Copies of this chain bind each other. A is one copy, B any other.
Amino acid sequence: MEAITESERDAVYKTIYSRRDTRGEFKSDPIPDEVLLRILDAAHHAPSVGFMQPWDFIVVKSPEVKKKIKAGFEIAHQEAAEMFPKEKQEQYKSFKLEGIVEAPVGICVTCDRSRTGSTVIGRTANPEMDLYSAVCAVQNLWLAARAENLGVGWMSIIHHDLLKEILGIPEKIVPIAYLNVGFVSHFHEQPELEKKGWLPRQALSSLLHWDQWQTEQVEKP
């Protein structure tokens, strides 16, 4: 199999560093079908435990379905606001945290835990591995989308039981992510929560350990 060249490597890093969680910058322009299929196929080529490929993808374009998901967000968002300390609640409420209705496409990524039977290579000691495979599919999709100059936002503020009801997802299937996807007016230079002072970017050096966990590094800002 062909080696990756330096300029190809640099393109991968450019994509990784310029990927953002998009909420407020979606344009309504439709995503061409061939582009949508390319990012879904990239997701399908994520690593999966025991080659299980446990994922499914529900592509949402219907305004009615989006409206129901938005209502589900509103419920969980209201509950969430009350969970923050009083002094943080106003700032939390000021953030735009989703683009459910504005984004032309929603993609729900799910995990079918029994897809290939009960015993799966690599999932024997760690049963969560199939869920993690589906998350790898999300990240493949996200980077492929960025490479197509599409923004993606992971909208996790909804109760999954309600999401399953809205999308008709069977009982045994686990929702992993609901993603808003679309072209954008621009990508932010920095993650928004960093720019707005919610949390700082940690220094990489503070996250590295060598051969053993370094206890003095457990404390984080």
Chain A residues with a Cβ under 8 A of chain B: 1-4, 7-9, 11-19, 21, 37-38, 40-42, 44-47, 49-53, 55-62, 65, 76, 79-80, 83-85, 88, 92, 95, 97, 112, 115-116, 119, 121-126, 128-129, 131-132, 135-136, 138-140, 142-144, 146-149, 154, 156-160, 167-170, 173, 176-177, 186-189, 191, 193-194, 198-199, 201-202, 204, 207-213, 215, 217-218, 220
Contacts and interface: CB of A to CB of B under 8 A. Distances in A.
Contacts of A215: 168, 170
A97 to B, nearest CB: 7
Given A13-B144, A121-B95, A194-B51, A3 B149 contact: yes
A215 B21 CA distance: 31
B45 A16 contact: yes
Name the residue in A46, A209, A220 with the highest tally of chain B Cβ atoms < 10 Å from its Cβ: A209
Given A15-B8, A125-B159, A211 B138 contact: no
A55 B207 contact: yes
Name the residue in A76, A132, A194 with the highest tally of chain B Cβ atoms < 10 Å from its Cβ: A132
A198 B117 CA distance: 13
B59 A209 contact: yes
